[in-house]
Structure 1
Amino acid sequence: MFQHGLMILNYRPKTAKSFLTHVGSYLRLASDKISKTLYVSLALNDNNVIDCRNDLQKIVPAIYVEAHRRAPLLDVRVLHHSYYRNEMISKKRSLQFRPQILFTNEQWKDDLLRQYLSKLNLADDHSNMSIVSLSSNHSSISDPVNHESSLISDQVYDNVCIGGTFDNLHNGHKILLSTAQLKCNRSLTIGVTNEQMLTTKILPELIESCEKRIHSLNLYLNDVDPYIHYNVCEISDPFGPAIVDPTLEAIIVSEETIRGGEKINEIRISKGMKPLKIDVIKLLQDDHKESGVEENKVSSSSLRIRKLGTLLKPPEPRPNLPDKPYLIGLTGMIASGKSSIAKKLETLGAGIINVDKLAHKTYQSSDMPAYKKIVETFGKDILDDNGQINRIKLGKIVFDDEAKLKLLNSFVWPEVRRLLQLEIDQMKTKYRVIVLEIALLIENYRMDQVHQVWLTILNQKEVVRRLMERNQLSESDALKRIEKIMPCKQKMPYANVIFCTQWEEEFTMEQVKRAWKMLNEQFVK
């Protein structure tokens, strides 16, 4: 299996339909031999560049549609060439990834192939690449999906703009980007939504920073088409440069964002600016949905949902811990469903220790080690009528003051450590995996005491609702409680696996089963 490959497809304009009937099987064949990136380069056998370019506006998006259908796990990148714009630019391109295998749908003479590869700065790689003839593999023919939009023109412009989040770059994004690139002669402006605009997105915690998304987008754009100028910028509203840049001529939108394009034109006209031409692409429908909570279109939201319960980050070595039992630290946002996840893991065979309940034991009665220190520090007002510490009263004190919370932990944790080790010693002969439910695992830097960190996340609106119901708090008190806790976004870098209990119990169980299967296949001896 190779990591990266190049597919050179000889293409004659006006034969689009017959050409596309083979592309799906070509991509499927490539996906059997490549694990990561496949570059597709169209070798045009026609001198009529204008006709070619109009054709390419249909062919290139269609290739991405077939890539989604036939090779959904491959990062397919259709290369654009300088002559598409009737320009012979001497600039040599350099691909981000070096192909190790070459696919061709027609036989090439060796000197002509080397000459063609030199345009991609790959002439020196020729002798080292394995070559696969697609024509000799008797590829099957299949009807391509008609993805052409009736709301897109053949017109091209000097300066074009688009906008989006561009998280988890997928084939739907690539259709939008390639359409914009092929319609653009000079400059493509792309607005990338910043973090403030993502709060209503599904699983915003899993979205990379705006800076990283812009960096990844620039790498991709220049890899595919380095012959135009890119202005990729952060935007904090739905309009960005589109309502202030008078040089822009057109905007490319999807079927669901047409109204956004129309609103931009209303603002431009109110400012005395020329309205933008609006070209509309069709949404790419998802043929590979993995659960009922995913969207029907190909979307970054669905890709983020698919990450739940999977290994996002390899665990760090823990030479301080024995291999058995394998310890999982289950932590997360308050009221995010940690106990629910723990119960599901227990049904699958894990031993469960609620470390937070162990902490409560350390001050449960007056003869416990931490009791006296807590009462002396926080006063007798925290006691109930039976002389026991009222956790709700204590919680209101410490959650409003970070210093007091740290002080409470300093009283409790030395004894918790002792009790925890006793529990582990009792359970280790019965369980290969023990899950430690610890609310403040990351805040208290206890990550080195477990083999992996599993994190539960949940949107703030639902957390507030659960806190109000469970802890009998007002909305303002619930929000105060949340504000005092480390945000999930800051915990994410430490997490090996992430869960979200936002949906039905059945989908939460799917996540847990996925994580349990991964754990037993890869780590538990």
Structure 2
Amino acid sequence: MSKTGILILTNPARVGKLLPVIKNHVLKTLYIQYYPDKTSLSSNLSVTSLKWQKPHQSNFISSIYAMATSMATTIDVRVLITNIKNSLINTKKPIELVIFDKNYSKDEANSFIKNYLNNSTKNCQYIAIVDTDDEETNNIPEKSTNELDKNADKIYENVVLGGTFDRLHNGHKILLTEAIIRCKNKLTIGVTDESMIRSKILWELIEPVENRIDNVKNFIQDIDSTLTYEIVAISDVYGPTKIDPNMNMIVVSEETEKGAIKINELRKNNNLNVLDVCTVKLANDEHHDDHEEAKISSSNQRIRLLGSRLKEPDLHDKSLKPYIVGLTGGIASGKSSVATKLQSLGAGVVHCDKLAHDLYEPGKKCFNIIIDIFGSKILTKDGKIDRKILGNIVFNDKEQLDKLNNIVWPAILELAIEEIKNLHDKGCDIIVMEAAVLIQAKWQFACHEIWTCIVPHNEAVKRLIERNCLTNDEAESRISVQPSNVQQVNEATVVFSTIWSHDVTLEQVTKAWNDLNNFINEKKINCN
């Protein structure tokens, strides 16, 4: 298979039949260049400008991206819309394979690769994928949205749009393409910074704004290098639109159309021209599950990352037996339920919280030390440590909490290591060390990799109040002394979220378990 290919498309009606075949030939990136069906390859480029000349044609491009979402999910599809200058097709990535939707002679195909591809590999190959049942038509679908109005084919000097643009997907590509086709001179793109993303699902998994800006820049310069682009981080819904008098039109999706209304109200109040608004219809995600959104979205992509390996663990020279997974997460994040599911799949499990509970019992290692430091006021009538009284002391005083942790944490780790050895001796090769304090206690060194559970802050508070019979303030104080979800995610190889049903959590856990076993097996093979 080739990493990068380009489809020279003469007939838009063929795309739906071509994509399922092309994914067997192209591994990573597929460029698509529309090439109106004329007499021959050589005469075509010399007489035809291949830019999409009319905005209503963007409906065809949208349909390509929508089909790619369902038919070629692993391929980065990029529909080229730039003007061909000096009869050259220029792409950022070198083309390894050219795909024609018609049969051409060998001389014609090789001549095309040599003369019209500005960035192809030395060994660039070509194939033809021809559908004999295809109707020979070059009709490009018209807009089926409310865009068929007096501005449907209007081109603007300066266009603007904004968004999160997390893990650039085909829905983003539809929006960006619409803006580029509408734009004659300068396109301004606002990318939301961290202050604007905290209400989104699994926002902790959203890429840093610098990465998102780079990904947008790479894509738009690749599909059309003729425009001037300004891409900026924004911390409010207005972005550059509140001050720029030169903007003419804004592109929004159906769900952000109200934002365009707010922007125009502000511009009117600031004596700036009101922007024309282009509303783009949302593309459906044909493969979404019940707990996902029906549209193509970054939220769905983040949900699908749960249970996946986000990065390679740094194993150093650690032995693969036993393989220790540190399972952590904030209080009430569902760690115990994940640990139980992993145990049912075959993992040995060490519950560090249970080990900690035992350390507080009379006669245990930490009991007398804790009494000496915190006094008899923390004892119940029968001489046991009242964990709620002790909790009220330490969770309201960081110095007192640090004292307790310095006593308990080393003792917990010592017992956990003993338990891991015992489980390994009994035949467990993969052992999960469930530890709420793993990150704070800096126990990463004792694990091969870290898996973490996260839930939204409000959900954690709700669960803690219900489970521990706490007040809202008490729940907040316990959560506040823990690492944030972002800190937890930054340390993690795999992330889970238990905010949906047990079945959804089980899917995440099963995926992580299977991927881990495959990873370990590959490591063993490479070591032999």
Percent identity of the aligned residues? 38
Q: Which residue in 2 is equivalent to 1:14?
A: none
SS in 2 for 1:149: coil
Q: Does 1:20 align with 2:12?
A: yes
How far did residue 452 of structure 1 move? 2.2
Q: Does 1:521 align with 2:518?
A: yes
Q: Which residue in 2 is equivalent to 1:268?
A: 267
- Tell me, yes or no, if the aligned pair for 1:26 and 1:139 is still in contact at 8 Å: no
Q: Which residue in 2 is equivalent to 1:128?
A: 123
2:450 pairs, out of 450, 453, 456, with 453
Q: Which residue in 2 is equivalent to 1:195?
A: 194
Q: Deviations for 1:178-225, whole angstroms, at most 9, x for unmatched residues?
A: 010011011111111111211211111111122221122112221222
SS in 1 for 2:422: helix
SS in 1 for 2:95: coil
Which moved further from structure 2: 404-413 or 336-345?
404-413
Opposite residue 310 of structure 1, the aligned amino acid is: S
Opposite residue 331 of structure 2, the aligned amino acid is: I
State the distance in 2 between where 1:513 and 1:51 align: 46
How far did residue 146 of structure 1 move? 7.8
Q: Does 1:488 align with 2:489?
A: no
TM-score if structure 1 supplies the norm length? 0.89
How far did residue 418 of structure 1 move? 3.1
- Tell me, yes or no, if the aligned pair for 1:148 and 1:282 is still in contact at 8 Å: no
Q: Deviations for 1:242-296, whole angstroms, at most 9, x for unmatched residues?
A: 232111100111122222212222222222221111111111001122x210111
- Tell me, yes or no, if the aligned pair for 1:38 and 1:76 is still in contact at 8 Å: yes
Q: After the TM superposition, which parts of structure 1 deviate over 6 Å for at least 4 consecutive aligned residues?
A: 48-51, 139-147
Opposite residue 287 of structure 1, the aligned amino acid is: E
State the distance in 1 between where 2:135 and 2:511 align: 36
- Tell me, yes or no, if the aligned pair for 1:251 and 1:261 is still in contact at 8 Å: yes
SS in 2 for 1:128: strand
Provide structure 1 residue ranges, at least 5 long, that are not aligned to the other structure. 12-18
How far did residue 99 of structure 1 move? 2.4
1:295 pairs, out of 279, 288, 293, with 293
How far did residue 490 of structure 1 move? 1.4
Which moved further from structure 2: 441-450 or 172-181?
441-450
How far did residue 381 of structure 1 move? 2.0
State the distance in 1 between where 2:467 and 2:448 align: 31
Q: Which residue in 1 is equivalent to 2:276?
A: 277
Q: Which residue in 2 is equivalent to 1:409?
A: 405
State the distance in 1 between where 2:221 and 2:338 align: 43
State the distance in 2 between where 1:109 and 1:308 align: 44
- Tell me, yes or no, if the aligned pair for 2:55 and 2:182 is still in contact at 8 Å: no
- Tell me, yes or no, if the aligned pair for 1:458 and 1:502 is still in contact at 8 Å: yes
How far did residue 175 of structure 1 move? 0.6
Q: Deviations for 1:151-185, whole angstroms, at most 9, x for unmatched residues?
A: 25111101001111101211111010001001101
State the distance in 1 between where 2:136 and 2:412 align: 64
Q: Which residue in 2 is equivalent to 1:42?
A: 34
State the distance in 1 between where 2:499 and 2:15 align: 40
How far did residue 109 of structure 1 move? 4.8
State the distance in 2 between where 1:312 and 1:128 align: 34
Q: Which residue in 1 is equivalent to 2:166?
A: 167
State the distance in 1 between where 2:447 and 2:146 align: 56
Which moved further from structure 2: 439-448 or 92-101?
92-101
How far did residue 358 of structure 1 move? 0.8
Q: Which residue in 2 is equivalent to 1:77?
A: 78
How far did residue 431 of structure 1 move? 2.8
Opposite residue 156 of structure 1, the aligned amino acid is: I
SS in 2 for 1:310: coil
Q: Deviations for 1:13-46, whole angstroms, at most 9, x for unmatched residues?
A: xxxxxx2221122222221122211112223546
Q: Deviations for 1:29-80, whole angstroms, at most 9, x for unmatched residues?
A: 2211222111122235464779844464333223222322321221101122
The alpha-carbon distance between structure 1 residues 515 and 80, as it changes in their structure 2 partners (threshold 3 A), is same
TM-score if structure 2 supplies the norm length? 0.88
Q: Which residue in 2 is equivalent to 1:209?
A: 208
The alpha-carbon distance between structure 1 residues 209 and 441, as it changes in their structure 2 partners (threshold 3 A), is same
How far did residue 96 of structure 1 move? 3.4
- Pairing 1:59-208 to 2, within 5 Å after superposition: 59-82=60-83, 88=85, 95-106=91-102, 107=104, 108-118=108-118, 121-122=119-120, 125=121, 127-135=122-130, 148-151=144-147, 153-208=152-207
State the distance in 1 between where 2:143 and 2:73 align: 17
Opposite residue 101 of structure 2, the aligned amino acid is: N
Give RMSD over aligned pairs. 2.6
Q: Which residue in 1 is equivalent to 2:329?
A: 332
- Pairing 1:504-515 to 2, within 5 Å after superposition: 504-515=501-512
SS in 1 for 2:6: strand
The alpha-carbon distance between structure 1 residues 350 and 48, as it changes in their structure 2 partners (threshold 3 A), is closer
- Tell me, yes or no, if the aligned pair for 2:57 and 2:141 is still in contact at 8 Å: no
The alpha-carbon distance between structure 1 residues 461 and 414, as it changes in their structure 2 partners (threshold 3 A), is closer
Q: Deviations for 1:283-315, whole angstroms, at most 9, x for unmatched residues?
A: 1001122x2101111111111111111111122
Opposite residue 310 of structure 2, the aligned amino acid is: L
Q: Does 1:4 align with 2:29?
A: no
